[in-house]
Amino acid sequence: MDELIPLLRLLADGDTHSGNRLGERLGISRAAVWKRLARLQALGVPLEARPGRGYRLAQPIDLLDGAALKAALAPATRARLAAIDLLPTVDSTNAHLARLAPWPAPRACLAEHQSAGRGRRGRPWVSPLGASLYLSLAWPFRERPAALETLALRAALAVAEALEDLGLPGVGLKWPNDLVADGRKLAGILIELQGEWGGAQQAIVGVGVNVHLPPEAARTIDRPWTDLATLMGPERPSRTALAAALLDRLCATLERLEGGEDDDWRERWRARELYRGEPVRLLQEGGEIQGVYRGIAEDGALLLESDGRLRRCYAGEMSLRPAHTQPETAP
């Protein structure tokens, strides 16, 4: 995979490049160029072959820039992060950090491509090369924070606020940790915890944001989705700028959680939450619960008015849907 990045950087301008010219620039044969182009296509990179002219990207690709990322981070974020792993490809950024645990200090991982990206409830996360942002942040807590169960909601809020910082208002939050724009999913959060209840805890916050999904990859997504290219057009931020904004917001959020600070996160969440006061269906193993969504409790639980009483529902293997959506047999 490492050898594909120089080729991608040559193609990133969107112009047409002959196989001979690409080979000269890379110091390899034309046959080797063709093999690398075929590998890029297998990874979901949309390529066009123009007879007699060469090859070009069907849409420009925006590769991550490690030096620019570090320069764009807030000083406090740079001071907290022990390392930022920027990988060409990985099974998943969460899995990469889990293999390195325990961590003496916070550590981040970003990848151009994931071969086994994961969402909540074991769902795959479509991860074509250079098309979205795949980011994970590992955070060691010396002792379990009192409000750790609210981490998924706080992380989703941090991502929404980072997107607002970059010029995208109106992102809604769907309990517990999906980000929705124009009624379609834009981003998701995957939280994984290690450790014992009463002692040290290790948290991994995984974030996936759709940036500019190619049509071939998008066809494999079985739910309504959107991306930053659709929402913001050419004014969308680079993936590097997006990564810096997310890391700044996430690090600040985890520091407050670690310090037990009682900030106004619930009020900020409520300003963005979807379905408040509306009929909803809460899908779970073995069936569903119907009721009216009444917001979130102080511990992050969903408040559902059902059968004349107010229930507290916790994330786990549950999934929230508007009442008008089609029934599903399992979440």
Q: Is the pTM of this model over 0.75?
A: yes
Model pLDDT, residue 123:
64
Tell me the average pLDDT across 137-147. 93
| Per-residue pLDDT tens over the stretch 22-42 | 999 999 998 999 999 998 888
pLDDT tier at 325 (50, 70, 90 boundaries)? low
Is the domain spanning 4-57 CATH 1.10.10.10? The answer is yes
* pLDDT at residue number 110: 97
The DSSP secondary structure of 95-156, one letter per residue, reads HHHHHH-S-SS-EEEEEEEESS-B-GGG-B----TTTEEEEEEEEEESS--TTGGGHHHHHH
Query: What confidence score (pLDDT) does residue 277 get?
Result: 93
Q: Are strands 287-296 and 319-322 parallel, antiparallel or unpaired?
A: unpaired
**CATH class of residue range 279-322:** mainly beta
Instruction: Decide: residue 160, CB within 10 A, 0-12 exposed, 13-18 middle, 19+ buried.
Output: buried
Separation of alpha carbons 238 and 241, rounded Å? 5
Residues pairing with 113 in the sheet: 89
pLDDT score for 328: 45
pLDDT of residue 198: 67
188-236 pLDDT per residue, tens? 999 999 887 667 899 999 999 999 887 766 666 768 899 999 999 999 9
What is the fold, at CATH topology level, of the domain defined by 66-270? BirA Bifunctional Protein; domain 2 (3.30.930)
Cis amide linkage into residue 102, ω under 30° from 0: yes
Q: Is the pLDDT of residue 120 over 60?
A: no
Q: State the pLDDT at residue 314.
A: 86
Query: Where are the chain's structural domains?
Result: 4-57, 66-270, 279-322
Judge contact between 28 and 34, C-beta under 8 A: no
| Average pLDDT score, the chain | 89
Q: Phi and psi (nearest 5°) for 179?
A: -110, 130
What whole-number distance in Å separates Cα of residue 266 and Cα of residue 45?
Answer: 40
How confident is residue 331, by pLDDT bands cut at 50, 70 and 90? very low
pLDDT band for position 329 (50/70/90)? very low
Tokens of 170: 């109106």
- pLDDT above 90 coverage of the chain, percent: 61
What confidence tier does 13 reach under pLDDT thresholds 50, 70, 90?
confident
Measured CA distances, 208 to 9, 110, 298 (Å): 23, 10, 26
Where helices occur in the chain by DSSP H, the ranges are 4-11, 19-26, 30-42, 66-72, 75-80, 93-100, 151-165, 215-218, 228-232, 239-258, 265-270
pLDDT at 124: 60
- Closest by CA position to 13, among listed 73, 68, 59, 65: 59
The least confident of 5-19, 118-132, 187-201, 298-312 is 118-132
Catalytic positions, please? 120, 185, 321
Q: Can you tell me the mean pLDDT for 304-317?
A: 87
**CA dist., res. 268 & res. 161, Å (int):** 9
Confidence of residue 284 (pLDDT cuts 50, 70, 90): confident
Token pair 């320069």 is found at 71
